[in-house]
């Protein structure tokens, strides 16, 4: 679908992510500079009361970002928010989804309001978010 | 309870060079499929001045310093007891490889829920590029789990 054709209620194509692995978390720690050991050191995670390391929330949010930028040019994305609902664990299989919930048209600028969610393979919500996209109405 | 007097405390400006290699590594770690995030030739062919920084890349700016968790230390928060509660980005302009960003940050809000069992701290940052253009703002909120300490 062309980006200008999105209507209220339309969903963007969902993005499926490979199972979360320890090496994914180690690579993200290196790339982001977030070396909080709760994401890479199982001994530290256990001392902190968890049964294992957990994924960086920002890694999950980065996957979600890609679900949006797969459809809309990044420069059209004016706001992007996430609430981290539950922990993402090793081997979780995530799916990123988004839906247009409102549209405003003003001075030939079309504003799309998206509701976003990341779920695991059991349907448990990991993250809920929103985005505001601004398109020039042709 | 966290010290509410630290609300509004600001932190020294951080200067961050957006390097091509770092963007490539970040694109790999976040499994970007679009080459505008890692292939300079492709990016330029598509009208971008260089590799584009993805939406969540700004998170790296705050970590790229000697003491990335300084505000948590100031609050006396053990890093093993925090979780990332929410993250907001407002985008004004794009960020590319070769840009030099300046980040200014402050502690935004401190509040609690569930009778103090959960305490929240928001960290507010503004990012300007080398042209002094405000490119983005972010609000990062962490939650402190107090239950284990009682």
Q: What 3 state SS string does A41-90 have? A: CHHHHHHCCCCCCECCHHHHHHHHHHHHHCCCCHHHEEEEEEEECCCCEC
Report d(CA B113, CA B128) in Å as an integer. Answer: 34
Strand order in the sheet with B10-17: A11-16, A95-106, A109-119, A125-136, A77-84, B82-91, B134-145, B118-128, B100-113, B10-17
B87: nearest CB among A32, A61, A69: A61
- What residue of A is the nearest CA neighbor of B35? A70
Total count of domains within chain B: 1
The per-residue pLDDT of chain A, averaged, comes to 96
Report d(CA B25, CA B38) in Å as an integer. Answer: 8
Among the residue ranges A48-57, A62-71, B33-42, B111-120, the one predicted with the least confidence is B111-120
Which pLDDT score is estimated for B69? 79
Most B-contacting residue of A62, A64, A79, A130 (CB-CB within 10 A), to test interface: A62
Instruction: Calculate what percentage of chain B has a pLDDT beyond 90.
Output: 79
Residue B150 pLDDT grade (very low, low, confident, very high; cuts 50, 70, 90): very low
Report d(CA B64, CA A35) in Å as an integer. Answer: 11
Helix/strand/coil for B81 = helix
List residues of A whose CB lies inside 8 A of any B CB.
17-18, 24, 27-28, 30-38, 44, 47-49, 56-59, 61-63, 65-66, 68-70, 74-75, 77-84, 87
Between the alpha carbon of residue B132 and those of residues B40, B54, B99, the distances in Å are: 24, 20, 11
Residues of B in contact with A34 (CB under 8 A): 59, 63, 68
Q: Could you identify the residue written with the tokens 């840009």?
A: B99
Flag whether pLDDT at B70 surpasses 90. Answer: no
Higher pLDDT, B77 or B122: B122
Report d(CA A61, CA B131) in Å as an integer. Answer: 28
Residues in chain A, how many? 138
Asked whether the beta carbons of residue A30 and residue B29 sit closer than 8 angstroms, the reply is: yes
Q: Does domain A7-136 have CATH number 3.40.50.300?
A: no
Give ∠ CA A127-B32-A136 in degrees, rounded to 5: 80
Among the residue ranges A41-45, A101-105, B71-75, the one predicted with the least confidence is B71-75
Query: What CATH number should be reported for the domain holding residue B75?
Result: 3.10.129.10
Flag whether pLDDT at B66 surpasses 80. Answer: no
Q: Categorise residue A126: left if φ over 0, alpha if ψ from -120 to 50, beta otherwise.
A: alpha
Which pLDDT score is estimated for B147? 58
ipTM for the complex shown? 0.96
Paired tokens of B32: 């970007």
Mean pLDDT to the nearest integer, A96-113 = 96
Asked whether the beta carbons of residue B88 and residue A80 sit closer than 8 angstroms, the reply is: yes
* Sequence spans of domains, chain A: 7-136
Q: Which residues pair with B110 in a beta bridge?
A: B121
Instruction: Calculate what percentage of chain B has a pLDDT beyond 70.
Output: 97
Query: Which residues form the domain of B63?
Result: 4-149
- What residue of B is the nearest CA neighbor of A86? B85
Paired tokens of B45: 């062919």
Q: Could you identify the residue written with the tokens 């948590």?
A: B72
């Amino acid at each position: 679908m062309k980006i200008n054709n999105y209507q209220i209620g339309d969903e963007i194509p969902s993005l499926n992510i490979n199972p979360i692995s320890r090496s994914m978390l180690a690579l993200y720690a290196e790339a982001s500079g977030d070396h909080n050991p709760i994401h890479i050191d199982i001994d530290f995670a256990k001392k902190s009361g968890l049964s294992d390391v957990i994924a960086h929330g920002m890694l999950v949010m980065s996957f979600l970002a890609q679900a949006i930028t797969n459809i809309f040019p990044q420069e059209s994305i004016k706001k992007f928010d996430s609430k981290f609902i539950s922990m993402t664990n090793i081997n979780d299989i995530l799916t990123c989804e988004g839906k247009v919930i409102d549209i405003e048209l003003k001075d030939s600028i079309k504003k799309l309001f998206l509701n976003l969610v990341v779920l695991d393979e059991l349907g448990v919500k990991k993250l809920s978010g929103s985005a505001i996209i601004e398109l020039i109405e042709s | 309870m966290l010290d509410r007097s630290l609300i509004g405390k600001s932190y020294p400006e951080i200067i961050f060079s957006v390097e091509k290699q770092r963007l490539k590594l970040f694109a790999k770690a976040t499994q970007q499929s679009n080459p505008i995030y890692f292939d300079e030739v492709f990016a330029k062919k598509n009208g971008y001045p260089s590799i584009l920084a993805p939406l969540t890349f700004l998170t790296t700016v705050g970590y790229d310093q000697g003491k990335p968790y300084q505000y948590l230390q100031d609050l006396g928060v053990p890093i093993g007891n925090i979780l990332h509660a929410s993250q907001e980005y407002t985008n004004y302009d794009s960020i590319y490889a070769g840009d030099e960003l300046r980040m200014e940050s402050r502690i935004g809000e401190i509040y609690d829920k569930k009778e103090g069992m959960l305490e929240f701290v928001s960290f507010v940052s503004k990012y300007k590029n080398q042209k002094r253009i405000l490119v983005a703002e972010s609000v990062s909120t962490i939650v402190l789990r107090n239950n284990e300490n009682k």
